[in-house]
């Protein structure tokens, strides 16, 4: 039997009208949860202030060296995934920090982009999962 998982973001309007909520596959559910975990700052989720990762603690950090910052974020992301996404085993996180020039309304400015790659194995099906995401930080956007 194929399990169905609720799709993010939750359609609360449908829930209030007692309608069926959109569902997704296991792989989609895990990738949506990884995205949520990576885009949440520590303390942002009132029920558990450990939920999230250190990307947002270091959002405007211009003092820490790039390699040290990269390792802090990579370790924090891996710990969060191991703690909160039990459906994914043998998780590995790779991270790249990239300086990118952005044009906004004719003005050009440099922004830091984090490219993150998470690989692992879905515990229940033994399928390989490859997840990639990118975030512009300082200020946050994706």
pLDDT at 2: 65
- Percentage of the chain exceeding pLDDT 90: 46
Count the domains in the chain. 1
Residue 2 lies in a domain: no
Q: Residue 71 is part of which domain span?
A: 22-137
Whichever domain contains 75, its CATH number is 3.10.450.40
Residue 1 lies in a domain: no
- More confident site: 19 or 87: 87
pLDDT at 89: 97
**Burial letters 77-103, b for 16+ CB under 10 A, else e:** bbebbeebbebbeebebebeeeeeeee
Residue 132 lies in a domain: yes
Q: What is the pLDDT of residues 52-75, one digit of tens each?
A: 998 877 666 665 677 888 898 899
Residue 17 lies in a domain: no
pLDDT at 142: 46
- More confident site: 14 or 132: 132
Residue 8 lies in a domain: no
Residue 63 lies in a domain: yes
pLDDT > 50? residue 100: yes
Mean pLDDT of all residues belonging to the chain: 85
User: Cα separation of 31 and 73, whole Å?
Assistant: 18
pLDDT at 1: 46
């Amino acid at each position: 039997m194929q399990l169905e998982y609720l799709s993010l973001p939750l359609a609360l309007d449908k829930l209030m009208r007692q309608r069926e909520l959109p569902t997704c596959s296991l792989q989609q559910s895990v990738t949506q949860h990884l995205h949520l975990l990576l885009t949440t700052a520590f303390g942002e989720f009132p029920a558990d202030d450990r939920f999230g990762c250190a990307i947002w603690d270091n959002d405007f950090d211009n003092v820490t060296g790039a390699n040290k910052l990269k390792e802090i974020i990579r370790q924090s992301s891996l710990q969060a995934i191991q703690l909160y996404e039990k459906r994914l085993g043998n998780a590995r996180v790779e991270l790249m920090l990239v300086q990118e020039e952005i044009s906004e309304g004719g003005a050009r400015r440099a922004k830091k982009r984090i490219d993150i790659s998470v690989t692992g194995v879905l515990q229940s099906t033994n399928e390989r999962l490859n997840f990639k995401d990118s975030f512009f930080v300082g200020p946050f956007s994706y």
